[in-house]
Chain A
Amino acid sequence: MSEKEKEEKKGTNISRRSFLKGVGTGTVAATVAPATILVGDPETAEAQTDEAISKSEIQLNINDQVVQIEVEARTTLLSVLRDGIDTQGNYVDLTGAKLICDKGECGGCTVLVDGKPVYACMMLAMDAQGKQITTVEGIANGDELHPVQDAFIQHDALMCGFCTPGFIVSSVALLNENKKPTLTEIKEGLSGNTCRCGTYPFIFDAVETASQKM
């Protein structure tokens, strides 16, 4: 594509969404002349070339350790935990919290922020400054597992285990609030977490067992 054509393309500035809104397609529209679809976002192009994205250095308190890291305004807490590289050049590498749905639907990234369960994919890193963040890696007391962790192992409350860190953190948060939850309360407390292997029945059993030991 020549520079001139590119300029022309930018000039049309038709987003895919607005373009398609106007074009009824499918079998009904089979007789309509073929529509041209332009993919790509000229606005992003301009934004990217206009100025570099600014970064700030922040401090986060994660599992009682201070993490010094440069972030963009859009960087999520989850991104810091999983992909972040601190100012020393080391991966933060707290990969227990998982990105599964990327929009606060599944609970796979649940962490405690000042003791409350929070979806780390929905919290900006900058907003986590000055707060106590506990990830699944910080739930055990050294080598001594938390009763919830013990109970999950004992009851086989995990299969592939990918959702497990989120369930562990949510379960701990639930039992911190409610020492002896009923089955209904357990379901309510864990309703923000999704498991695809279908481990739920044993998760309920595990939380009940843990509640008796706490």
Chain B
Amino acid sequence: MASWGEASQSRLIGKRIARLSGKDKVTGKAKYTYDINRPGMLYARILRSDVAHAAVMDIDLSQAEALPGVKAVIPLTEAGRNLRYQGQEIAAVAAETDDIAKDALRLIFVELEELPFVVTEADAMAENAPQIRDWEGNQSKPGINEQGNVQAAFEEAAVTVEATYHTPVQTHVCLETHGHVTEWTDDQNLTVWASTQAVFGVRNDFARRFEIPANQVRVITEHMGGGFGSKFGPGVEGHTAAQLSRITGLPVKLMLTRRAEHLVAGNRPSMTQHVKAGASSDGRLVAYDMRGYGTGGISSGAGFQAPYVYHVENRKTERFNVATNAGNQRAMRAPGHPQGAFAMDSLMDELAEKLGMNPLEFRRINDSSEVRQAQYTLGAQEIGWHRRNTVPGSGTGVKKRGMGVGSGQWGGGGGRGTQARVTINADGTVEAVTGTQDIGTGIRTAIAIIVAEEFGLAPTDISVKVGDSGPGLPSGGSGGSQTTASVAPVIKTAAMAAKQKLFEHVAPLLKAPVDDLRVGTGTIYVASDRTNTVTWNQAAGLLGQESISEGGNWDQELRQGGVAGTQFAEVEVDTQTGNVQVLKIVAVQDCGLAINRLTTESQINGGVVMGLGQTLLEERIMDPQTGRMLNANLEDYKVPGTYEIPEIKSIVFDTHRKVTGVGEPPCIPTLGAIANAVYNAIGVRIRELPITPDKVLTALAEKKA
């Protein structure tokens, strides 16, 4: 049975190893979809609605078509149809240069009749609001879940807290916007460079859309500039590029503008929770009643986790979606979890305070995860939990410090559907091929580490080919923190099979049985006589014309689902400016077996930074008067920059030797940890994210009054 072996036996797995793509990325050689330049390539742009809701009366493309340098103009809607959010597609242009395409967009004449719209949850739910989709009152049918006896439990509770928590819509802000370069070699064969986190999903989508066999679509994603859950399909822009390419017979590049990226390329839905919860005098969470909603724009899918992490025997939840005239939500890093964690961790602290308990102790009582119990101890030591204000807001001076804690959980653990091939050539070179994609998490390097460990080679000796559907070795999309746990077992078993085959060639030479052979560092030797050895290259040389090429299988024993995490934050709040500076985050994150500790730490850092952004900075601001997003750029939509970055202590918390995954979970506990630290610093609770200076100052003023 396959296993990853003991940590002490691992030469590479679990060590800190520089990623293979590093050199290409620091020298500018790495080619992203956006960097692909093909001979004769056209540039395409999309004309988008600049209003929230309108009926299309007329579209006139003739002047755009007549502009010199324009090769094709196509409508993406038609008279009689409705545009239901700002940014929705009207028409597209392909031209010889990007500037000509820009000019041509201004030459498309459209007549729209504006329709009533709602862009905020409050407006959508207001009496007499215009109904914008097939939901009465713009609200989906609520999902109701009840367990235990909530009413009786509240009577038992020693303390109760009633509060409303809100998180706004957050956008993904992929630095490489969504987009494709499309090229038809003939009318039945399409090559697509796609900025995607699902190479094979995109291949199959294009095949269906253009009614050609899937193996006649080749999708290439050698590098991609961030997806965070928003890049699983080609979208309108992908289909449009391929359509323009087909019409013109030329390669077409169509990348979304930064503005469109905010408007139409997905977002994390908002969340509003009205929650009432009760705890017993001995610190048990006994009753929980929550009614909540969120908006995913014109689409559904605005779910969130509630209650979260901590166990409540008696609970009732009711949740629904609110429709607004805004772009569709898409999965975003740990969908539903960060917002749920913010509400729950805030609630936990509010209950603990009413009970007069240390919030960490209150968590310990209500958290059934043994892993997190250990993480609480480690994290508290690292942050110096004893230094926190026992009375919130009791610090002196203008700048006040505080500490908080938050928790999270995730699934991971991978799944079936990956095929891979590990090849040993007679010249000693090794190749590992699979159809997964490296979205920045470092799977390319993880694959090299696994194969190199198995063969006694260095990761740089392994040529890893991912991000290409050409070889016909499928793998799933990179979502749910599933990539490593889906791919690693297949690579590992393929490498084991290839090694076995090589041993069969070597055994006669060493005059030893196959099962007595082992790999050393660049060698193969006989276990019972370690002086009896050949180098890796000598062994491979025995292959002559026939390379070894083996596939693998998804071995259940090599992976496991379920991770726990906890984070502690220390913040400093300037009570004169309202600015919150995070000083330190301690992130204790379980991720199963970390194949590469260095890139795992990077993932944890990245999760913390994204969680920090959601807590303190990020918010899609919709103008109820004009129906437009007011901050669809990178100046007014704030993402964390260098000044916001605290000291981050990322602790890879080893629990077992099976691969699980870590992409999403580290962005979850950050919100509650920071929000609770702000409360601990100033003694006023802010229940609505992001915690911006205006909210801090208002809260402080209300406290004074």
| Residue B115 at the chain A interface, CB threshold 8 Å | yes
| Residue A59 at the chain B interface, CB threshold 8 Å | no
A41 touches B106 (CB 8 A): yes
| Residue B208 at the chain A interface, CB threshold 8 Å | no
List of B residues within 8 angstroms of A148 by Cβ? 26
Q: How many residues of B contact A (CB 8 A)?
A: 94
| Residue A27 at the chain B interface, CB threshold 8 Å | yes
List of B residues within 8 angstroms of A186 by Cβ? 642
> Could you say which of A72, A145, A162 contacts B225, with CB atoms under 8 Å apart?
A162
| Residue B563 at the chain A interface, CB threshold 8 Å | no
| Residue B288 at the chain A interface, CB threshold 8 Å | no
Cα–Cα, bound, A34→B119 (Å): 18
> Could you say which of B97, B109, B129, B223 contacts A160, with CB atoms under 8 Å apart?
B223
With A20-B626, A35-B113, A199-B605: A161-B128 Cβ-Cβ less than 8 Å: no
Contact with B along A97-115 (1 / 0, CB 8 A): 1111111011010000000
Which of B97-134 touch A at CB < 8 Å? 97-99, 103, 106-119, 123, 126, 128-130
A98 touches B18 (CB 8 A): no
A38 touches B111 (CB 8 A): yes
> Could you say which of A27, A154, A194, A200 contacts B129, with CB atoms under 8 Å apart?
A27
| Residue B439 at the chain A interface, CB threshold 8 Å | yes
List of A residues within 8 angstroms of B378 by Cβ? none
How far apart are A196's CB and chain B's nearest CB, in angstroms?
5
Cα–Cα, bound, A103→B633 (Å): 9
| Residue B559 at the chain A interface, CB threshold 8 Å | no
| Residue B68 at the chain A interface, CB threshold 8 Å | yes
Cα–Cα, bound, A83→B113 (Å): 38
Which of A75-100 touch B at CB < 8 Å? 75, 79, 82-83, 91, 93-100
How far apart are B176's CB and chain A's nearest CB, in angstroms?
5
Residue of B98, B106, B113 contacting most chain A CB atoms (<10 Å): B106
A164 touches B26 (CB 8 A): yes
Contact with A along B161-175 (1 / 0, CB 8 A): 000000000000111
Contact with B along A157-173 (1 / 0, CB 8 A): 01111111100100000
| Residue A182 at the chain B interface, CB threshold 8 Å | no
> Could you say which of A79, A159, A191, A194 contacts B98, with CB atoms under 8 Å apart?
A79
Question: Closest chain A residue to B650 by CB distance?
Answer: A201
List of B residues within 8 angstroms of A214 by Cβ? none
List of A residues within 8 angstroms of B68 by Cβ? 52
Please tell me the size bucket of the interface on A: 35 or more
How far apart are A118's CB and chain B's nearest CB, in angstroms?
16
A38 touches B635 (CB 8 A): no
A152 touches B22 (CB 8 A): yes
Cα–Cα, bound, A20→B112 (Å): 12
With A9-B109, A39-B109, A160-B440: A27-B116 Cβ-Cβ less than 8 Å: yes
Cα–Cα, bound, A149→B30 (Å): 14
Cα–Cα, bound, A39→B113 (Å): 11
Cα–Cα, bound, A190→B640 (Å): 12
List of B residues within 8 angstroms of A103 by Cβ? 258, 633-635
A25-B114, A27-B123, A148-B26 known; 17 new pairs, CB 8 Å cut-off, are: A25-B626, A27-B129, A27-B130, A36-B113, A39-B47, A39-B111, A75-B99, A95-B32, A101-B635, A103-B633, A137-B28, A149-B27, A153-B22, A162-B226, A164-B26, A168-B28, A196-B639
Chain B contact residues, CB within 8 Å of chain A: 18-19, 21-32, 34-35, 37, 43, 47, 50-51, 54, 57-58, 60, 63, 67-68, 90, 97-99, 103, 106-119, 123, 126, 128-130, 173-176, 223-226, 228, 257-258, 439-442, 598-599, 601-603, 605-610, 624-627, 633-635, 639-643, 645, 647-648, 650
9 cross-chain pairs, A with B, having the tightest CB-CB distances, nearest first: A96-B28, A198-B609, A162-B225, A160-B440, A198-B606, A161-B25, A95-B35, A153-B22, A40-B109
